[in-house]
Chains A and B, each alone.
Chain A
Amino acid sequence: MSVELAKIDSKQIAVNNAAVRCQKLTKEFRAGETIVRALRGVDVEIAYGEMTLLVGPSGCGKTTLISIIAGLLDPTDGEVEVLGENRRELTGTRLVKFRQKNIGFVFQQYNLLPALDVVENVSIPLIIGGVSQSDAKMRAAEVLKKVSLEDKINARVSQLSGGQQQRVAIARALVHDPRLMVCDEPTAALDAASGHNIMELLREVSIDQDRVVIVVTHDNRVFDFGDRVIEMADGVVENVTTNQRSRNNGGSNTKVKQT
Chain B
Amino acid sequence: MRWLAWRMLTGDRTKYLGIVFGVAFGSLLIAQQASIFVGLMRRTSHIILDVTEPDIWVLDKYGQNVDEIQPMSENRLYQVRGVAGVDWAVKMYKGLVRVKQRDGDFRQAILIGIDDSTMIGAPQKMIQGSISDLSRPDAIIIDLAGYSLMYPGEEIQLGRTMEINDRRAVIVGICEVSAPFQTFPVAFTKYSHATQYAPRERNVMSFVLVKAEAGINQQELCEKIEEQTGLQAIRSDDFFWFNINYYIENTGIPVNFGITVMLGFIVGAAIAGQTFYLFTIENLKQFGTLKAMGVTNIRLLRMILLQALIVGTIGYSIGIAMACAFFEITGASGQADLRGMYVPWQVMLITAGAVGLIVLVASLLSIHKVLVLEPAVVFK
**Chain A contact residues, CB within 8 Å of chain B:** 63-64, 67, 70, 72-73, 93, 96-97, 99-101, 103, 105, 107-109, 111, 113-116, 120, 124-125, 127-129, 133, 184
Contact = CB atoms under 8 A, between A and B. Distances in A.
A127 B1 contact: yes
A113 B8 contact: yes
Interface stretch (B38-46, B270-278, B286-294, B312-320): B286-294
B291 to A, nearest CB: 8
A108 B380 contact: yes
A184 B296 contact: no
Interface in B1-59: 1, 3-4, 7-8, 10-12
A129 B293 CA distance: 10
Contacts of B293: 99-100, 103, 105, 124-125, 128
A206 B192 CA distance: 101
Contacts of A108: 379-380
A109 B380 CA distance: 7
A251 to B, nearest CB: 30
B294 A184 contact: no
Contact of B379 (A99, A107, A129): A107
A113 B3 CA distance: 13
Contacts of B290: 124, 128
B309 interface: no
Q: Tell me whether chain B's interface is mostly helix, strand or loop, or mixed.
A: helix
30 contacts: A63-B376, A67-B375, A70-B292, A72-B378, A93-B296, A96-B291, A96-B294, A99-B294, A100-B293, A100-B294, A101-B294, A103-B293, A105-B289, A105-B293, A105-B378, A107-B289, A107-B379, A108-B379, A108-B380, A113-B7, A113-B11, A113-B286, A114-B11, A114-B12, A115-B8, A115-B11, A125-B294, A127-B4, A129-B294, A184-B379
Contacts of A128: 1, 290, 293-295
B369 interface: no
Contacts, number: 75
B379 A97 contact: no
Contacts of A127: 1, 4
Contacts of B378: 72, 105, 107, 111
Given A105-B293, A108-B379, 7 more contacts: A103-B293, A105-B289, A105-B378, A113-B7, A113-B289, A116-B4, A128-B295
A155 to B, nearest CB: 14
Contacts of B375: 63-64, 67, 72-73
B7 to A, nearest CB: 5
A133 B296 CA distance: 19
Most buried by B among A72, A120, A124: A72
Interface in B292-306: 292-297
A99 B293 CA distance: 6
A240 B229 CA distance: 104
B224 interface: no
Contacts of A93: 296
B33 to A, nearest CB: 35
Nearest to A98: B294
B235 interface: no
A133 B8 CA distance: 16
A113 B331 CA distance: 48
A99 B380 contact: no
Contacts of A70: 292
Nearest to A68: B375
- 6 nearest CB pairs, A to B: A100-B294, A115-B11, A67-B375, A72-B375, A111-B289, A99-B294
A116 B291 CA distance: 17
A96 B373 CA distance: 13
Contacts of A125: 293-294
B10 to A, nearest CB: 7
Contacts of B10: 115
Given A113-B8, A114-B12, A63 B294 contact: no
Counting chain A CB atoms within 10 Å of each CB, the highest count among B8, B294, B296 belongs to B294
Interface in B325-379: 373, 375-376, 378-379
Contacts of A116: 4, 7, 11
A70 B3 CA distance: 27
B211 interface: no
A253 to B, nearest CB: 27
